[in-house]
Structure 1
Amino acid sequence: MKHLLSKKLQLQHLILLLLFFAHVAGFAQDDSSGQLKTVTLDEAIQLGILNNRQLKMAHTDVAIAAENISQAKIAKVPRVGLSGGYTYIGDPKLYEGFYENNITVDYFNHRAFANIVSTMPIYGGGVINSKIEQQKLIGEMQESVARMTQADVKNAITQYYFTLEKLYRQIEVTKQNIINTDLRISQLKSRVENGQNLKSDLIRTELQQSNFKVSVFRNTNDIELVSNYLDILIGLPANTVLKPQLTENAILLEEVNLQKSLTEAYQNREEIKRATIGVALSKSTLDITKSGFRPNINANLILNTEYPAQWPNYVNIINYWAAGISLNWDISSFYSVKHRVRGDKLQIEKSNIALDATKDQIDKEVKTAFVKYAESKRNIMVYKKDVELALSNYKIVKSRYDNDFALISDMVDAELQLNNSKISLVNANLDLIIQYYSLQFAMGKL
């Protein structure tokens, strides 16, 4: 009898061992069913800088601004125009009275002319230089926009990257619980057959395992969605499923303090630089408007040739040149220019207010990111303690359950608490990294 029991126990252990390895192989197959691409954070960021469409558009705007600067500088270059013409004139008729008699005149039929006209601005009230400076400021603005877009892209990449890592680690924790509950279900089936446990105990455990599988399924779907978002950001095919590749020591979190963070944010944030350029742009617009009070002076040069020289009496060619200075001063526009000047001054005041508002917004963002980062640090300590307590409770309940002093419901509750505390700790560790990068972004260092 003892020999039969021993063989039965050995068979049960063999079945449990086979089930365990079958589940492990099944989970490994699930992980490899899709085409996974492992990627480091640096690789993802470099791909984003090279391929992101928003960033490409921002760089194109920079190139357009550079062309506009060159176009503005052309206003200083002399303008040269070439014109010419040829006319064939038929013999005219002279009429007497009201079309009573006519006489045909032997007229010279050919007439031609050509001239070259050059104009060079000498003084335009400063408008040319002001427009060149304005285009340079717009170029600086576009460069700032490109840098800000790059920072936004890098920030989005880090957010999605560590969200992916969070999901993968949640799946690891939950899959281990599925394996554990699968082994317990096999044991319960034998105990139910022997009358040692109720059918409801088996059903409750199977329900717990089903919830774990649903959680894995949900996280797997989230991985595909987040991978798709990240694919779009970094320019990979949209169906590429990404898996972060990082080590615990790959990311070194620096110690930061609030005042230093604010100081660096004021120095680095592109929003402040853009707002400052906005003030300068408003001032350049005022300078252009004020040029309306001043005259325009141009130097002119003309080279001309005509045939015939004095039409139609002298059939010969005349060439001449002329040089001079012209002045244009629109006195009547003073009244309207005065009102535009007032409007431009108000725009400068508005730009200064916008600069202060930008500083206030950055101040709020830095403080929020700093508080969240400090909070994430504290959360890790709390969740570590929760895992220790949940693990201790699980061991106690399992020991009591194995000795028939605890119900299966107690075991299920203990296991759920341990699972939730482990996942909370995983999330807290990665949230700390995410909040660190959010703080770096708020400081303008990303």
Structure 2
Amino acid sequence: MRIKKLLPILACLLAFEGKAQIDVSPSLQKAIQEAIDKNASIRNKDLEVEKISTEKKSVWNKYIPKVEGSANYMYFDTKITLDLPTGNIPVINQPVFDGKQSFDSYGNVLMGSLMAKTVLFSGFQIENGAKALEQKRIGTAYLSEAEKESLIKEVIHSFDQVHLLNEVEKLLNDSEKRLATETKRVERAIEEGLAIPYDRDKIKLANLELQSKKIELQGKRKVLYQKINYLTGYSENQIKEVKYLLAPYMISEELSVENKQELKALESFKKASDYMVKKEKGGYLPVLGAFGGVTYTSLFDATMITPEIPMVNSRLYGRMNEFTMSPNWMVGLSMKWEIFSGFERKHKIHEAKINAEQVQNQLDDTKEKFALLLENNLANYRIQNKKYQIGLEQEKVASNNLNMAVRQYQEGLINISERLEAENDLFKASANKIQILVEQRLSALETLSVTGELTKTILN
């Protein structure tokens, strides 16, 4: 009956070879989305994209005027030394500024300003720097998508392995039921003298082997549940609720690597490095800016004491209540042109060109590697399809042999060992077919992953 259910699947595989059909159930799709939302590496990549976007905005913001306000208060108490050429006062012939003269002064100064500054022309450094960051942001986003594809493949394969264990468990249960029926028949035959205890012991040994395989299966299932819990955060009950048909994946063989996320990321990084070369070349051009604002300056409660004046034999005291300049408006243009920087700009341009060449080399090499990987994965996909078809035939033959062996054993034409060997052959053939099916699905996912179309195929 199980083989009859799988025949339509095989027919679809043969009839639609070359068409991409990756059907994902809603419950599996939800588990994949949960894994993507939970993955720390993907979240960090998305945060990195956001950080680069903020950095790009900061670069463009250099064109936005910056307004600065300041206020300063100062109390000064100082001695001023003045040495002027000596002169004479006419008529009285009195010398003035004879030698060094010292003045004591003290007072208060209050200053305030509100100034605005902006860049008018940066030698295209701002524009090219912002464009480089934008390409870096795009490339980082592509790397995030690449991690999603790898995660999707891992989640689906993990659930496929759970399905594999479930199917193997069903096979073990079926074998156990057949052997239980055979045990009852042998017990009756022994009582009637038509069989010997050896036959019963052989069946018992076969049952013990089944029990051993069940224990091993439970251990593998526990490890798989822990892995899926790490990937998706799902509990054991939630994992069991993920339902879908374990059927072959069918993909087109007319594929290319042009949309591979890692290649698109490298292409964006190459553009970013080209913009960085242009940015560094912009250092040869002058930077123009504009400024404007208003200032306030006030000198108040100031006092100056002169040295003793010979004519009056006393010091003079000068006092100023206030001297204020407000408002003091100003507006202007500024230019900064670094004509010679000691070859620093030349070295930076050379370094940027080297970085661009390195990215280009990496892009060319990675494109060739992915092309080879695609051919290898396609070859493996074709092999798995053929192996799956052979596995179906093997299971069919093993099932027919078992049915025949059961009848022949009941008729006494074969011994118990041959009967159990046929039972074991069917188990091996069925388990092998399911294992090949899981590998066929994985090979299809790996092939689509190389093309960069896996996420779009699964989640869209």
In 2, Cα distance between the equivalents of 1:344 and 1:85? 44
Tell me what 2:92 maps to: none
CA RMSD across the alignment: 2.9
Q: Is residue 374 of structure 1 aligned with residue 382 of structure 2?
A: yes
Instruction: Return the alpha-carbon distance in structure 2 between the equivalents of residues 347 and 57 of structure 1.
Output: 25
Match in the other structure for 1:322: 330
Identity of aligned pairs, percent?
Answer: 14
1:125, 1:135 → 2: CA distance?
17
Q: Deviations over 1:245-273 (max 9, x none)?
A: 1246xx6844522xx212xx31x211111
More displaced stretch, 408-417 vs 323-332: 323-332
Structure number with bigger Rg: 2
Pair 1:87 & 2:74 matched: yes
Q: Secondary structure at the match of 1:179?
A: helix
Q: Given the alignment of the two structures, is residue 210 of structure 1 paired with residue 204 of structure 2, yes or no?
A: no
Contact 1:228 1:239 survives alignment (8 Å): no
CA shift at 1:355, angstroms? 0.9
Q: Which residue of 1 aligns with 2:272?
A: 281
Residue in structure 1 matched with residue 9 of structure 2 by the alignment = none
Task: Tell me, yes or no, if structure 1 residue 443 matches structure 2 residue 441.
Answer: no
Richer in helix (by share): 1
SS in 2 for 1:308: strand
Residue 345 of structure 2 aligns with an amino acid whose one-letter code is: V
CA contact (8 A) 2:248 2:440 kept: no
- Between the two structures, name the one with larger relative contact order (CA 8 Å, sep ≥ 6): 2
**2:395 is paired with a residue of what secondary structure?**
helix
User: Which residue of structure 2 aligns with residue 134 of structure 1?
Assistant: 132
- The equivalent residue for 1:427 is 435
5+ residue gaps, structure 2, are: 1-24, 82-101, 304-318, 455-460
Q: Which residue of 1 aligns with 2:58?
A: 71
The change in CA–CA distance for 1:439 and 1:147 in structure 2 (over 3 A counts) is same
Q: CA-to-partner distance for each residue in 1:67-104, whole Å, 9 max, x for gaps?
A: 2222111111122222211123469799xxxxxxxx99
The 8 Å contact of residues 251 and 444 in structure 2, kept in 1 or not, is answered as no
2:369 is aligned with 1:361: yes
Partner of 1:8: none
Q: Secondary structure at the match of 1:404?
A: coil
Report the counterpart of residue 168 of structure 1 in structure 2. Answer: 166
Q: Is the Cα–Cα contact under 8 Å of residues 108 and 301 in structure 2 kept in the other structure?
A: no
1:60 matched to 2:47? The reply is: yes
- Give distance in 2, aligned partners of 1:374 and 1:223: 29
SS at match of 2:170: helix
**Contact 2:36/2:42 (8 A) holds in 1:** yes
Q: Which amino acid aligns with 2:117?
A: T
Work out whether residues 153 and 446 of structure 2, in 8 Å CA contact, stay in contact via their aligned partners in 1: yes
Equivalences for residues 258-269 of structure 1 within 5 A: 260-262=254-256, 265-266=257-258, 268-269=259-260
CA distance in 2 between counterparts of 1:273 and 1:171 reads: 44
AA paired with 1:387? E
Q: Distance in 1 between matches of 2:452 and 2:80?
A: 85
Work out the CA distance in 2 between the residues paired with 1:252 and 1:381. Answer: 11
SS at match of 2:129: helix
For residue 173 of structure 1, report the CA deviation from its aligned partner.
Answer: 0.9
Query: 8 Å contact 1:224–1:241 — kept in the other structure?
Result: no
Cα distance in structure 2, aligned partners of 1:63 and 1:235: 25
Q: Residue 286 of structure 2 contacts residue 336 of structure 2 at CA under 8 Å; is this kept in 1? A: yes
1:256 corresponds to which residue? 252
**1:188-224 Cα distance to aligned partner (Å, 9 max, x none):** 3444455544444333322221221222222222222
**Aligned partners of 1:72 and 1:135 also within 8 Å:** no
Partner of 1:48: 35
Partner of 2:217: 219
Question: Equivalent residue of 2:227, what SS?
Answer: helix
Deviation at 1:323, TM superposition (A): 2.7
Alpha carbons of structure 1 residues 93 and 123: separation in structure 2 relative to 1, 3 Å: closer
- Is 2:283 the partner of 1:292? yes
Aligned residue for 1:397? 405
